[in-house]
Amino acid sequence: MRRGIALLLALIGMSLAAPAQAAPVLVTLPEGSYRAIAPADWDGRKPLPLVVYLHGWREDSAQVLGNEALVAAALGLGMLFVAPDGVDQSWSHVGAPSHKRDDLAFLHAVIADAERRWPIDKRRLFAAGFSVGGSMVWDLACHDAQGIAAFLPFSGDFWTPYPARCETGPVALRHTHAVNDHTFPMEGRTLPIFSGRFHQGELKTSFAILEAADGCAAEPDARAPDGDLDCSRWTRCGGGKELELCLHHGDHQIQPNWLHRSLLWAMQRVAER
C-alpha cells in the first residue's frame, strides 16, 4: 500500500507541468486508422503505458489530438496516447444506430499494432472514451476486456438491450458522468432522431450489471470527493477489481483534469496489485 501511495504522489508531481508534445503518427490498418503520440521527452526505449481514447459522436482522431490539454493529461504521466477513428465518426457498440465494423476486433487490432510499433508496458494498458466512445468502452469492458487493465468511460454507458452477462468477468472501471447530462442522461433516454428505435441505457442498471460481474455489493462501500467530482467506490469486489462512479454538476463534457484523475486511479490500481 505504501509503495502504491508513493507512486501516486510521484505521478502527480511529474504531471504538474504540461509536457511538450511530439508530432503525432497516423497509422492506417486494413480495418481503419488511428493516431498516436508519445511524450516528447520519451527516450525511445523505456516501456510506455498506453491509453486508447475513443472519441465522441461526430469527432475523429485529428480533433482529439487537436485538444492539447486533453492529450497532455496522458502525456504528463509518460503515456502513449492512441486515438482510433470510428467509422463515420461513431462506434458500433451493442444497441448503437451504426453497425459498420466489428469495433471490438478493431480496437484489439489497434492495440496489437501499437505494441508492434512501440515498447508498451502491457501491465499498464487502459481504455478511455467520451459519450458514444464511453459506451464503446463499456462494451469493451463487458465483452472483450482481454489485456486491458482498467476502463475509464465518460458520459456514456450501456445502450439497450442490456447485456445478460459480461463474458470477460471482473474488470476495474471508473466512470465519470454529469448529474444533469442532457445528451446522455443518467436515467437513459430514447433517441427521437431515430424514430425511437435506439435507447441509451440507465447508468444505475449498467452499474448493476458490472457489480454482478465483479462480485461487488449492490451499494458502494466508500464515498469521497475527488476535486470537483463526488466519487462512490466499490473496493471489495472479486478478483481484486474495483469500480468507481464519479459525478459532477456540469453537462455533457470531458475535462482534461477528469481524464488525468481517472488515469491516476488506473495507475494506482495496477500499482497495488
Residue 181 is part of which domain span?
2-271
The identity of residue 265, as a single letter, is: W
Give the per-residue pLDDT at 22: 73
Task: Give the count of domains, the chain.
Answer: 1
Q: Which residue has the cell 449498467?
A: 206
Residue 238 identity: G
Q: What is the DSSP letter of 161?
A: S
Distance CA 171, CA 9 (A): 24
pLDDT in tens, 98-151: 899 999 999 999 999 999 999 999 999 999 999 999 999 999 999 999 999 999
Q: Give the Cα separation of 105 and 66 in Å (integer).
A: 26
pLDDT, tens digit, 9 for 90 and up, residues 25-53: 999 999 999 999 999 999 999 999 999 99
pLDDT of residue 19 exceeding 70: no
Average pLDDT, the chain: 92
As given in the structure block, the three cell numbers for residue 34 are 488511428
Q: How far apart are CA 43 and CA 54, in angstroms?
A: 26
CATH number for the domain that contains residue 130? 3.40.50.1820
- Residue 117 CA to residue 215 CA, distance in Å, equals 37
Q: What is the largest CA-CA distance in the chain?
A: 54
Cell numbers given for 130: 467520451
Confirm if 88 and 100 have CB atoms less than 8 A apart: yes
Torsion 203-208-211-213 (CA) sign? negative
Residue 259, CB half-sphere, CA atoms under 13 Å: how many?
29
CB 167 within 8 A of CB 143: yes
User: Contact, 164 vs 201, CB < 8 A?
Assistant: no
Predicted confidence at residue 20, as pLDDT, reads 52
Chain centroid to CA 213: 18
Q: How many CB atoms lie within 10 A of CB 170?
A: 19
For residue range 192-240, what is the model confidence (pLDDT) as tens digits?
877 778 999 999 999 999 999 999 999 999 999 999 999 999 999 988 9
Spatial CB neighbours of 237, under 8 Å, sequence gap ≥ 6? 170, 211, 214, 215, 216, 243
Instruction: From 261, 244, 224, select the one nearest 11 (Cα to Cα).
Output: 261
